[in-house]
Structure formats: C-alpha cells, structure tokens
C-alpha cells in the first residue's frame, strides 16, 4: 500500500486533521476549530468562578448569571477575531449582532452556556453552536451547514457535524481534541428516555406516549441539562429526549434557533430524527430569536411513535 490518504486516515486523531480529511471547506474548518478552542476558555471561566465562589452560597445566583454573560463575551470576541463570521446571535443577546464587515461567509448562533443553573450542583453543562450559510431567520434545513456542542463534564467533549456524519472528540491533557467516536450512528430504537416538563402539565397525547415508553421498559435518564441529556442519547446510540408542549406553554420551553436546530442537525447526521411532534425541527422557519418549540429527538422509532400518539390525541 502506498502513502495515500486511505493509509493516513487511520492515524488521524486531531480535530483539524479530521476535518481536513473529511473535506470540510477551509473557512468552515477554521471556524469550527476556533469555536472548539473557545470551549477551553469557557471551561477555564467555569473553573475560575467556582474557585472564587466556594463557600459563598448567597451570591452564587448572581455569579451564574455573569458566567452566562462571560461565556457569551468570550465566544463573541473569538468569533469576531476569526474573520469568518458576519452575524452572531445568542441567547444572551436581544438582537442579531453584526460582528463582521458584512462580506463574511457564516452566521453563527450560540447558547454559550446552557444549563448554567446546574453549575452549583456540579452536573454537566454545555455550549451549543449552529453555523449557517445565510441568515439564520430561515428553515434550518436551508441555512445550516454545521453544528456542534461542547459538554463540560468530568471530561470535556465536543461533537460536531459539518454535514458528513457526527463525530465526537475528547479534550486531552495536552489541550488537543482527540477523536473518540467517528460517524456516530443511532440504532433504530433505544432504551432510555429523558423528559422535561412537569407531568401535571403534559397533554393527553404526550402522557399516553410516555406511558407507552414506560410499559415497554424504557429507563429514565434525566439530569435537567439539555446538553448532557442530549449527549447521553447520542452516545448511548438511541432513545428519546423530549421537552414537550405543555398545557400552560404550548410552545414548550427550549429555543428553536439556539438549542433545537443545532441538535437536530447533529441527530439527523447520526441517523436519528428531531421533530416538534409533527414537523421536522429543521423544516420549521425561525420567525423570532426567542421562538420556543416542543421537541422529540432521538432514534427513529421513538420519535415516530411520539408523532403517532400526538396525532391521535393532539
């Protein structure tokens, strides 16, 4: 065998090389790399604030808020320096922010620090990113070119997809993202379920769906952090995460643009599905930055089954 790319790939562990071999376009590659590196700075900020605050429970709430904002600032600045991003929108900003000159290729959405209310419990939290090739106020299927999320847990892991499968990397002690799982593929059907919202607020269709899962022996696995809960479904190769429409909030809780679209992009790339109970998440048009949406995301069987129950009992 010669020294072709086929031989070379088996030695690939580093994120940059992986994206290069995967044929990810140069600027997109650099942008994803830049965001992954920014995850290290955000992680340092999380650690810094925890050290500073140990023992000061009374001011902890305030600091959590500033942690969200710090993560947002770090991300926005890094993206601005990258030179590849025209517009930035995040859960921490009221409007879309022009951070480029106006001729850059990409538009980035961010939930800089999802689940920050879990910091004091030492559960995992995360950063969620969507990368669009045109204005993000569109259907995800049309505008998205890549998505990634970083999980800050006992390990820092990053899952990205640039439209050619979903891949997981682990940050090692040398500060490199090392490939841990390539082309993650969900099974047709899983065995865990992860449910947001209070049972008393569920709709009839959703209640019946959950009872169906319980009768079938699904195990409950829910931390209350969207990133680790979703990550669990992906890494365990299936099951269902849902934050449904509730009687008092028919649009559910989670945000379409910042939280749901990026995860839907990654799950579809892993052979899974993501719907609002009817339509694919990526077919929904974003009309408003704060738009909420119910979500059923996971392996095919469970997502389709949810659709059947919700059709019969809307």
- CA 152 – CA 181 distance, rounded (Å): 17
**Could you say whether residue 114 binds ligand FDP (CB under 6 A)?**
yes
**Could you say whether residue 224 binds ligand FDP (CB under 6 A)?**
yes
Q: In the complex with ligand FDP, which residue's Cβ is closer, 145 or 254?
A: 254
Q: In the complex with ligand FDP, which residue's Cβ is closer, 118 or 146?
A: 118
Nearest Cα to 178, choosing from 148, 199, 157, 208?
Answer: 157
The 25-64 contact track toward ligand FDP, x by CB under 6 A, reads: ----------------------------------------
Q: In the complex with ligand FDP, which residue's Cβ is closer, 67 or 74?
A: 67
Residue bearing tokens 């900020």:
45
Smallest gap, in angstroms, from Cβ of residue 51 to ligand FDP? 22
Among 47-55, 113-121, 140-148, 232-240, the segment contacting ligand FDP (CB under 6 A): 113-121
Q: In the complex with ligand FDP, which residue's Cβ is closer, 263 or 282?
A: 263
Smallest gap, in angstroms, from Cβ of residue 155 to ligand FDP? 19
Contact between residue 198 and residue 252 where contact means Cβ atoms under 8 Å apart: no
The 230-259 contact track toward ligand FDP, x by CB under 6 A, reads: -----------------------xx-----
Among 102-110, 116-124, 135-143, 272-280, the segment contacting ligand FDP (CB under 6 A): 116-124
Contact between residue 144 and residue 261 where contact means Cβ atoms under 8 Å apart: yes
Q: What is the DSSP string of the chain?
A: --S-HHHHGGG--BHHHHHHHTT--HHHHHHHHHHHHHHHHHHHHHHHHHHHHTT-GGGHHHHHHHHHHHHHHHHHHHHHHHT-EEEEEETT-SS-EE-S-S--SEEEEEEEEETGGGGGGT--EEEEEEEESS-SSSBHHHHEEEEEEEEESSSEEEEEESSS--EEEEE-TTS-EEEEESS----SS-SEEEE-S-GGGB-HHHHHHHHHHHHTTPEE---S-HHHHHHHHHHTT--EEEE--BSS-TT-SSBIIIIIHHHHHHHHHTT-EEESSSSBGGGSBP-STT-B--EEEESHHHHHHHHHHHHH--
Q: Which member of 100, 225, 238, 277 binds ligand FDP (CB under 6 A)?
A: 225
Count of residues engaged in binding ligand FDP, rule: CB under 6 A: 12
What Rg, from alpha-carbon coordinates, does the chain have?
19
Q: In the complex with ligand FDP, which residue's Cβ is closer, 161 or 232?
A: 232
The 136-175 contact track toward ligand FDP, x by CB under 6 A, reads: ----------------------------------------
Q: In the complex with ligand FDP, which residue's Cβ is closer, 87 or 114?
A: 114
Q: Which member of 117, 135, 191, 291 binds ligand FDP (CB under 6 A)?
A: 117
The 190-219 contact track toward ligand FDP, x by CB under 6 A, reads: ------xx----------------------
Contact between residue 258 and residue 231 where contact means Cβ atoms under 8 Å apart: no
**Could you say whether residue 291 binds ligand FDP (CB under 6 A)?**
no
Q: Which member of 39, 100, 112, 115 binds ligand FDP (CB under 6 A)?
A: 115
Catalog residues that contact ligand FDP under the rule CB under 6 A.
Answer: 114-118, 196-197, 224-226, 253-254
């Amino acid at each position: 065998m010669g020294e072709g790319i086929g031989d070379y790939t088996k030695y690939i562990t580093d994120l940059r090389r992986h994206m290069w071999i995967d044929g990810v376009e140069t600027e997109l590659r650099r942008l994803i790399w830049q965001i992954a590196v920014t995850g290290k700075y955000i992680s340092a900020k999380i650690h810094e604030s925890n050290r500073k605050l140990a023992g000061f429970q009374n001011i902890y709430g305030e600091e959590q808020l500033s942690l969200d904002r710090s993560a947002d600032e770090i991300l926005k600045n890094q993206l601005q320096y990258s030179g590849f991003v025209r517009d930035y929108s995040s859960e921490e900003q009221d409007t879309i922010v022009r951070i480029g000159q106006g001729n850059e290729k990409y538009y980035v959405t961010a939930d800089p620090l999802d689940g920050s209310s879990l910091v004091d419990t030492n559960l995992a939290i995360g950063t969620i990113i969507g990368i669009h090739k045109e204005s993000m106020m569109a259907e995800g299927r049309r505008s998205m070119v890549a998505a990634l999320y970083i999980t800050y847990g006992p390990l820092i892991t990053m899952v990205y997809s640039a439209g050619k499968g979903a891949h997981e990397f682990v940050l090692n002690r040398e500060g490199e993202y090392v490939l841990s799982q390539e082309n993650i593929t969900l099974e047709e059907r899983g065995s865990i379920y992860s449910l947001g919202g209070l049972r008393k607020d569920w709709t009839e269709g959703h209640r019946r769906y959950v009872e169906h899962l319980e009768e079938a022996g699904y195990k409950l696995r829910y931390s209350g952090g969207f990133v680790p809960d979703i990550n669990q479904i992906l890494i365990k190769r299936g099951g269902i995460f849902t934050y449904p429409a509730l009687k008092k909030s028919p649009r559910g809780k989670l945000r379409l643009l910042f939280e749901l679209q990026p995860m839907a992009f990654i799950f579809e790339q892993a052979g899974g599905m993501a719907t609002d109970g009817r339509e694919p998440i990526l077919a929904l048009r974003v009309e408003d930055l704060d738009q909420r949406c119910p979500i059923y995301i996971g392996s095919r069987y469970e997502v389709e089954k949810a659709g059947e129950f919700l059709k019969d009992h809307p």
